[in-house]
Each structure stands twice: as structure tokens, then as C-alpha cells.
Amino acid sequence: MDGSIMRNHLRSAVSVVALLVTFGVGGAGAQTSASTKYASGQSLQPVYEGWEQNADGTYTMWFGYLNRNFEQRLNVPVGPDNNIQPGGPDRGQPTIFETAGKRRQQFAFKVVLPADWPKDRDLVWTVTANGMKLTAIGSLWPVWLVNDDVIAANRGSQRIYDPKSMNQRPVVTEAAVGGTIAVGTPLILTLGVRDDGLPKRRRPGELAPGGAGGGGVVTKKDGVDERQPPLRDSLKVTWLQWRGPGTAKFEPDQARVLDADGNQTSTGGKAMTQVTFDTPGTYVLRAYAEDMSVFSIPPDVTVTVSGDAAPGAGGR
């Protein structure tokens, strides 16, 4: 193997080790590092998650990130400080990097590569934040090969007794619509989702792995109490701000998929959420249609936000 290629992948391995240390995997020193929480001033670690081969022979490389700041939400525009090469600098990566409970985004976006992509060519995502430059090195090495089971075990909430390789990714049947809106005016986002009903939702009172009760929200149907599964185990849509100059606020940022009668469903319906913006400009919003274990990414939603109040403005 070419020496430069080997050095690149050694650097990739170092990035993985750095992430493990961040999460407290390792000895006592690692635990001490993980227990220190920084509000701001820390780096942004881009992460290579792995690759899949598509039915048409093309390749998909998956990336995510870790914002090491617990309070500082980073906005790094595409360019010298946020670029993917070759073929970039813009290959669809985020420019908004969330914090707090959202600071680790796994399998956040993908880059599709042609079938003739050389097996020894890397795809490198470089981000500079708070003066620190870090990279994620994507490769087609067999060790990085992933499938839905791997994705579900990392990003989703797959249970140890769920049937493997049977659950299909949800299908988006109705895309959310953007448009033009005024600062502070709510925009309603509606996403239609169809799913195969797998994995089966927990029965009322069923114990979750680790001993926690199934819990959930109690509703009434035909006069009988029903226990909905916890949100993390439900067919739902999760929203993130992908790009934009200010802050997009979602209420809620995770919405259950409901049928035509407003009841939770595991086979198909619509999820609705409301978003408002605090600063004029152009925003890109990303959704994930999640069925507890795996997910699909519908087309991103672009919204133009004006600084003038627009009476009666709204959206769907």
C-alpha cells in the first residue's frame, strides 16, 4: 500500500481513539477527561461513520460530528473552514453544529460516490472551529462497511431481540414545504411517512432493556386506555437546523407520526411540527423519518426569512 494512504488511515484511527477518550472509554485518565464539561472554546470533531455499496454500484459514505462544546452552538460556513474534498468544498455537509443533548450527531449525512471511485481514494471532511482544525477521513476499507443493523445499533434504539435485516427504512410519501416567512412567524412543517410496522412496538408495561418500564403516554381509544411507546421507540420525524444565519426553533423537534384520526401509528401517517426563526436570511432544515431503528432522509427544506412582519403569514 502507498505510504501516504497508510498515514491517512492512521490519522483516521487517531480520530476514532480521540472520540473514545471523549466519551470516557478507556482508563482512569479517559474518565477524568470525560467528566470535564466545557461550555465553549472547544473543537468540532467531524466523524466518518462508514460506507455502504448501493444497488446501482455507487457508494455511500456516511458522516456525523461531535461538538465538544456543551453550550456553544457552532456556525461554520462552507469554505476554507468547512469543506469536503475532493469534489467540494460543498458536498451537503451541515454548517450548524448543535450542542447539549444534540452535540453528537451520528450518520447525519451521506455523500454518494460514483461506481468507479478508486478503492484507495479518501474523502476528507475538514472543519476548523475555535481555531482548531480537525478532519474525518472516509475510505472504502472493508472494516468501515456498515448496514442497517450497524446504523440501528448506533443511531437508533434497536432492541437486542428485534429481527435483524428485516426492518425496512421508512418511506417519505409527502415532503415538507418551505417558502418565505417573516421573523418570528410560525411555519408548519408536515411530513408524510409510510412504514412496514417493524419493529413491533412494546406492549403496555413491557420492560425495556436495562429494566426500565415501557412507560409512554396514556391515551384513550374507544374508552380503553392505551399506552403509547416512548418517543424514542416510536415512528417519528426528527428535525435539525442544517444551515442558516440565526436559530430555527422547532416545537417539537421530534414529532410522532399520526394517522388520519390523530392516533399514533407504526405503518403510516403524518408528522407535524412548527418552526420559527429569529434572524432574516436563508435557512436549510433537515428531517429524519425514523421508525425506532433505521431512518430515511427526505429532501431538505429551504426557507427564506424576511425581517418584516407579514400579517397572516404562515406555511405548511
Q: How many domains does the chain have?
A: 2
Count the neighbouring beta carbons within 10 Å of the beta carbon of residue 258: 15
Residue 67's pLDDT is: 98
Residue 167's pLDDT is: 81
Asked if residue 316 is part of any domain, the answer here is: no
Residues 138 and 183 in one domain: no
Residues 42 and 117 in one domain: yes
Residue 33's pLDDT is: 53
Residues 22 and 142 in one domain: yes
Count the neighbouring beta carbons within 10 Å of the beta carbon of residue 88: 18
Residue 259's domain spans which residues?
Answer: 171-306
The residue with cell 472547544 is 42
Residue 135's pLDDT is: 98
Residues 198 and 232 in one domain: yes
Residues 179 and 278 in one domain: yes
Residues 11 and 142 in one domain: yes
Cα(67)–Cα(22) distance, integer angstroms: 11
Q: Is 217 helix (H, G, I), strand (E, B) or coil?
A: coil
Asked if residue 157 is part of any domain, the answer here is: no
Asked if residue 312 is part of any domain, the answer here is: no
The residue with cell 454518494 is 112
Q: Is 312 helix (H, G, I), strand (E, B) or coil?
A: coil
Give Cα 145 to chain centroid, integer Å: 19
Residues 83 and 123 in one domain: yes
Residues 204 and 301 in one domain: yes
Residues 186 and 139 in one domain: no
Total residues found in the chain within this entry: 316
Which of 146, 180, 207 finishes a domain?
146
Residues 214 and 281 in one domain: yes
The residues, any chain, with a CB within 8 Å of residue 242's CB and separated by 6 or more, are 94, 95, 96, 284, 285, 286, 300
Residue 238's pLDDT is: 96
Q: What is the amino acid identity at position 1?
A: M
Asked if residue 9 is part of any domain, the answer here is: yes
- CATH number of the domain bearing residue 219: 2.60.40.10
Would you give the DSSP letter of residue 21? H
Cα(86)–Cα(61) distance, integer angstroms: 13
Residues 133 and 209 in one domain: no
Cα(212)–Cα(38) distance, integer angstroms: 31
Residues 184 and 286 in one domain: yes
The residue with cell 406555511 is 315
Profile the chain (316 residues) by mean pLDDT over runs of 10 residues. Answer: 46 43 36 70 98 97 98 98 97 97 96 97 98 98 92 77 74 96 97 90 51 46 56 90 98 95 91 97 97 91 84 40
Q: Phi and psi at residue 189, in whole multiples of 5°?
A: -105, 125
Instruction: Identify whether 86 is preceded by a cis peptide bond (ω within 30 of 0).
Output: yes
